[in-house]
């Protein structure tokens, strides 16, 4: 054999744009993207989130407008987070039919009910005075089983207000089963559950806690969210959530956990989504503001990486912009 020519030339298929397009293995579609949105009670103008340039806490009206823009861009889903005016120990605003999230869900389902999937984050941390994702015992521990009843009530309130999908993010044991039972009993047998199955105790949530005003007032979330060191545990969490009736599952955060996304996507037979969280957004925006990164290329590259790893749907604060870029 002569060594004059390489036996194989992978570069042949990279030689021209049309060829590269033809052989691309991964192609993110606008419909794969889910836009997380914050709605704040009691403000008459959107409030910018300082640590997330370009993201705001919406008013009801500005959220409606942004939701229409997302639909026009072809975005597949919206995930609504509420920031209530009044918080208390048990997060009463979370399942109040007159609460800000329920009002917003009614707005969205009236405006856009057939055009996009309307999802509600289901948790207590934005609604509790202490900022934890569940009810507390007198000793200040998060009380798993007492919290489940609250989650069931929130799920029913969200479904009644028009949510198409509820997405529990609190990492309580048994939460999917409790929510399924509550929904079914109330007649919402057709509302799917998107379970934040593997949710890590991550420093990448920092900016979100400004946006949702939900930083824990004491301690942290390590007794309910997962240790970043563990991947096998994520498979167990996913297995449990599916056994309890989850219809779709989510891994969160995404970028630093794409190995977990890949492992989970190989094992399950339901749609796997991943959440490009606030800290991932903030890192790229900060670097791009300094002209240290090509912002649009990085956005598209990260979304492609999520799908290459196995995520079918991606929650991203760039959803509307990315959908336009992908068109």
- Give the closest residue to 255 by CA, choosing from 273, 271, 277: 277
Interface with ligand PBG (CB under 6 A), residue from 169, 226, 302, 307: 169
Residues paired with residue 291 on neighbouring β-strands, in sequence order: none
Interface with ligand PBG (CB under 6 A), residue from 127, 151, 200, 208: 208
CA gap 168, 176 in Å, rounded? 7
Q: Which is nearer to ligand PBG, 36 or 192 (CB)?
A: 36
CA gap 174, 49 in Å, rounded? 33
DSSP strand pairing (117-122 vs 56-58) = unpaired
158 binds ligand PBG (CB under 6 A): no
Segment interacting with ligand PBG (CB under 6 A) among 39-47, 106-114, 158-166, 202-210: 202-210
> Taking the complex as a whole, how short is the minimal distance between the CB of residue 205 and ligand PBG, in angstroms?
4
Vertex 310 angle, CA 12 and 220, to 5°: 135
Segment interacting with ligand PBG (CB under 6 A) among 101-109, 119-127, 149-157, 287-295: 119-127
Q: Which is nearer to ligand PBG, 208 or 318 (CB)?
A: 208
In degrees rounded to 5, what are phi and psi of residue 167?
-130, 90
123 binds ligand PBG (CB under 6 A): yes
Q: Known catalytic residues?
A: 199, 252
Q: Which is nearer to ligand PBG, 111 or 228 (CB)?
A: 228
Vertex 196 angle, CA 318 and 83, to 5°: 60
Q: Give me 111's structure tokens.
A: 């405006």
Question: For residues 129 and 84, is the Cβ–Cβ distance under 8 A?
Answer: no
How many residues form the binding site for ligand PBG (CB under 6 A)?
Answer: 10
Segment interacting with ligand PBG (CB under 6 A) among 98-106, 117-125, 142-150, 303-311: 117-125
Residues in region 297-326 near ligand PBG by CB under 6 A: none
Residues in region 215-234 near ligand PBG by CB under 6 A: 221
- Give the closest residue to 95 by CA, choosing from 149, 31, 165, 17: 149
250 to 289: interface string for ligand PBG, x by CB under 6 A: ---------------------------xx-----------
CA gap 182, 200 in Å, rounded? 26
In degrees rounded to 5, what are phi and psi of residue 314?
-130, 125
> Taking the complex as a whole, how short is the minimal distance between the CB of residue 126 and ligand PBG, in angstroms?
6
- The radius of gyration computed from the CA coordinates of the chain, to the nearest angstrom, equals 21
**Cβ atoms within 10 A of the Cβ of 308, count?**
14
Question: For residues 45 and 24, is the Cβ–Cβ distance under 8 A?
Answer: no
Q: Which is nearer to ligand PBG, 221 or 263 (CB)?
A: 221
CA gap 318, 217 in Å, rounded? 29
Residues paired with residue 57 on neighbouring β-strands, in sequence order: 38, 47
> Taking the complex as a whole, how short is the minimal distance between the CB of residue 209 and ligand PBG, in angstroms?
6
79 binds ligand PBG (CB under 6 A): no
121 binds ligand PBG (CB under 6 A): yes
> Taking the complex as a whole, how short is the minimal distance between the CB of residue 278 and ligand PBG, in angstroms?
3
> Taking the complex as a whole, how short is the minimal distance between the CB of residue 226 and ligand PBG, in angstroms?
11
> Taking the complex as a whole, how short is the minimal distance between the CB of residue 300 and ligand PBG, in angstroms?
19
Interface with ligand PBG (CB under 6 A), residue from 38, 200, 205, 224: 205
Residues 6+ apart with CB under 8 A from 250: 167, 194, 195, 196, 197, 198, 199, 272, 273, 274, 275, 315
> Taking the complex as a whole, how short is the minimal distance between the CB of residue 250 and ligand PBG, in angstroms?
10
Write out the residues near ligand PBG by the rule CB under 6 A. 121, 123, 125, 169, 205, 208-209, 221, 277-278
């Amino acid at each position: 054999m002569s060594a004059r020519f390489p036996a194989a030339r992978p570069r042949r298929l990279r030689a021209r744009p049309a060829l590269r397009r033809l052989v691309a293995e991964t192609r993110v579609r606008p419909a794969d993207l889910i836009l997380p949105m914050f709605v704040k009670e009691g403000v008459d103008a959107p409030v910018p989130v300082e640590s997330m340039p370009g993201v705001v806490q919406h008013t009801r009206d500005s959220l409606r407008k942004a939701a229409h823009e997302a639909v026009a861009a072809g975005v597949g889903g919206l995930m609504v987070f509420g920031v209530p005016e009044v918080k208390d120990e048990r997060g009463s605003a979370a399942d109040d039919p007159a609460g800000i999230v329920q009002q917003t869900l009614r707005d969205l389902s009236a405006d856009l009910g057939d055009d996009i999937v309307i999802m509600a984050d289901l948790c207590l941390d934005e609604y509790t005075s202490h900022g934890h994702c569940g009810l507390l015992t007198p000793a200040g521990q998060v009380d798993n089983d007492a919290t489940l009843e609250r989650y069931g009530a929130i799920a029913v309130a969200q479904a009644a207000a028009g949510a198409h999908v509820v997405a529990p993010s609190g990492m309580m044991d048994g939460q999917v089963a409790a929510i399924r039972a509550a929904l079914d009993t109330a007649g919402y047998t057709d509302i799917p559950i998107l379970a934040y199955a593997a949710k890590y105790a991550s420093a990448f949530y920092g900016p979100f806690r400004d946006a949702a005003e939900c930083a824990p007032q004491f301690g942290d979330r390590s007794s309910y969210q997962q240790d970043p060191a563990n991947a096998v545990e994520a498979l167990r969490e996913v297995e449990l959530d599916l056994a309890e009736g989850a219809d779709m599952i989510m891994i969160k955060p995404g970028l630093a956990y794409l190995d977990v996304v890949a492992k989970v996507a190989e094992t399950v037979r339901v749609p796997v989504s991943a959440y490009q969280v606030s800290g991932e957004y903030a890192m790229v925006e900060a670097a791009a503001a300094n002209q240290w990164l090509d912002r649009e290329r990085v956005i598209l590259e990260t979304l492609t990486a999520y799908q290459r790893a196995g995520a079918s749907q991606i929650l991203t604060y760039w959803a509307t912009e990315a959908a336009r870029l992908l068109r």
